[in-house]
Structure 1
Amino acid sequence: MQILVAEDDLVLGQLIAHLLKKKGGYQVEWVTTGDEVFDYAIDAHYDVLILDWMLPGVDGVHICQRLRREGYAGAIIMLTAKDALEDRINGLDAGADDYLVKPIEIDELLARIRAVSRRNFAPLQEQLIELDTIKINLTNRTVFDDQVEIQLTPREFQLLDLLIRNKGQVLSRELIYERIWGFDAEVSLKTIDATVKLLRKKLNWNNGKDFIQSVRGVGYKLDL
């Protein structure tokens, strides 16, 4: 599941993004301004948007209204310190699907995400990628090579997913580290190289082609 977090409090934003990755296993992007929300949400598909009411530039109510007008079909969970009935009504009427008052508990947020993700916001379209004989389903997180399933660990699939969504672009080790393990994970950058090595071995077992290219001194990229 792809989640976009919009929160301008740097400590809270980092914490939410980290815990959603660690405890929920989700793919998470984090932005801090209203303008960034539009750029990210419209240009890419997110299943859930976790949206702070008070953002620099544009507030959450106007963001909801504009996203719904422009066809954003994902779920929106509003985070706010405003707990008056009128505020909750305004947020929901603007297009939010749920409303959570700060301070939040991460387990409750995870439960709210599971609840809204069960609703039928838009027809589910499987995202399928083919690498020669390898078929990757990003929706149900499966990988097959000539009808034989390749078993990937959650970290390996997250890495593959990240490389696929940024195909042709060089991703630094530092970026991969932050996106997959989180900024405060207690692992070394060598863990990335080890994970890439294992992923390569699993993808190459049948055809010997190396889809993941090393960029010396920088990181990795995926050539389709």
Structure 2
Amino acid sequence: MHHAFTLSGEMLHALPSGALYWPAQRLLCVSDLHLGKSERLARRGGALLPPYETRETLHRLEAEVDRTTPAHVLCLGDSFDDLAAARGLEEEARLRLARLMAGRDWTWIEGNHDAGPVEIGGTHRAQLTLGPLTFRHIADPQEKAEISGHYHPKLRLKGAARPCFLLDQDRLILPAFGLYTGGLHADDPALRPLIQAPALAILTGPRAIPVPIR
């Protein structure tokens, strides 16, 4: 149910969940988990949301780890809604995350919401280059062969906005993997300098659906 494509000569799989899998590297990549968002909103006097998003996001991540059995998991930034949310992670969630990390490489890329949750373990980097591909949180319009997150892209189809990957010849932008996340529509002006025609939006959902976009 995934969509397979090539970027800089490497075969990649856009998964229906919004995760990315790189078979040759046994690498699972997710972006913008935003763990602890409901706690952060409540702490700062924002909207009161049911505090279940961390549990559900970790459940979804666990399902992808079980399905793909990666040797390396790469989180592309904004893994926590802020550093206080990382420090305040409930013990159950902390233990669940530790079980996911056990026995495999785990890399946290710095995001604009978090500088990398150093108390949780794993490797912490501003960006990471593997083979021809560079992984970072925010896309750089001057770079190529790049995979990033940050923008939480979505595409409206049949009246409903669905999270999506954005893909052109030079880069891939991942959707947010976290439960409580907004996003930018694929035609938002902020994305126009980054995604050039010919381009695809790969919709998430029951299956990954590629849709040509202008």
The TM-score normalised by the length of structure 1 is: 0.34
Q: Which has more radius of gyration? A: 1
Greater RCO (Cα-Cα under 8 Å, separation 6 or more) = 2
Which structure shows the bigger proportion of residues in strand conformation? Answer: 2
The TM-score normalised by the length of structure 2 is: 0.35
